[in-house]
Amino acid sequence: MTAILDPRDRLIVALDVPDVASAGAMIERLGDSVTFYKIGYQLGYAGGLPLVRKLADAGKKVFADLKMHDIGNTVAKGVESVAKLGATFLTVHAYPQTMQAAANASKGSDLRILAVTVLTSYDNEDLKAAGYQLGVSDLVTTRAQQAQALGIDGLVCSPEEAGNLRKLIKPEMVLVTPGVRPAGADIGDQKRVMTPAKAIAAGSDYLVVGRPILAADDPKAAAEAIVAEIAAAT
């Protein structure tokens, strides 16, 4: 990462909610404690994509976590469409054809492409079951090197890999890490996790947090506590 960011801008809240009305209510509750939102499958498939433009127009940044993976032409056209929505980040899966198509299609726009290396809900056993011979660490490294060679702007990985990747990739590439849990929080289906402070110390640029904030009795206080942890670790 090149620019020094305000700790608040390094927290990306995953708006994993069932509909646009719930998203609006959560955004209202979080107020100015959150500057960066992520829209993924749940909200995106429930009519939430127009919210990208709405949030961008309201001065927020938006990460479209659409994890694209298709033939090159389809990926390229999808990337062009998302670029018009005003999103800051868009994810694609870290397959060379897909990354190449996305990198080419985003040229000339403000959209930055992130490659999802290995999902944070996967461990070595899960990769083996899916037919991969490499373990998590080696596959993340291989995909990160391919992403860099193809001109991808950043990587989605777990904080566990951030330290190694930071040494391996050029500083302009951003590391965006889900799999973040405040101490004592339920990890749910995540398998490769760290606390906010440890993730920042390991080299993460942006932390993606969903359930620990969305399910909190006071989501704003939960977000503020994570921002304070980021600030203390910076």
Alpha-carbon distance of 140 to 166, in angstroms, equals 12
Q: Which of the ranges 56-64, 70-78, 129-137, 202-210 carries the binding residues for ligand LLZGTKA7, by CB under 6 A?
A: 202-210
Residue at 188: amino acid letter: G
60 catalytic residue (yes or no): no
3 state DSSP class of 119? coil
The reply to whether 190 sits near ligand LLZGTKA7 by the rule CB under 6 A is yes
| For ligand LLZGTKA7, the closer CB: 108 or 154 | 154
Instruction: Tell me how long the chain is.
Output: 234
The tokens for 214 are 């969305």
* 181 labelled binding-site residue: yes
Q: Of 67, 128, 170, 198, which is the active-site residue?
A: 67
The tokens for 165 are 């990747």
Residue entry with tokens 């490499």: 134
**In 3-state terms, the chain is what percent helix, strand and coil (to 5)?**
50, 15, 35
DSSP 5: P
Q: In what helix (H) or strand (E) does residue 111 lie, and over which residues does it extend?
A: none
Name the minimum Å distance from CB 14 to ligand LLZGTKA7: 4
Among the listed residues 49, 208, 223, 226, the single contact to ligand LLZGTKA7 using CB under 6 A: 208
Name the minimum Å distance from CB 114 to ligand LLZGTKA7: 9
Name the minimum Å distance from CB 116 to ligand LLZGTKA7: 5
Q: Please, are residues 144 and 157 in contact by the beta-carbon 8 Å criterion? A: yes
Q: Which of the ranges 141-149, 164-172, 203-211, 219-227 carries the binding residues for ligand LLZGTKA7, by CB under 6 A?
A: 203-211
The reply to whether 86 sits near ligand LLZGTKA7 by the rule CB under 6 A is no
For CA atoms 215, 68, 89, 158, the dihedral sign is positive
Among the listed residues 40, 78, 86, 219, the single contact to ligand LLZGTKA7 using CB under 6 A: 40
| For ligand LLZGTKA7, the closer CB: 4 or 123 | 123
Please state the φ and ψ torsions of residue 86, each to the nearest 5 degrees: 95, 20
The tokens for 176 are 């965006």
Binding site for ligand LLZGTKA7 (CB under 6 A): 14, 16, 40, 65, 116, 119-120, 156, 178, 188, 190, 208-211
Q: Which residues are marked as active site? A: 67
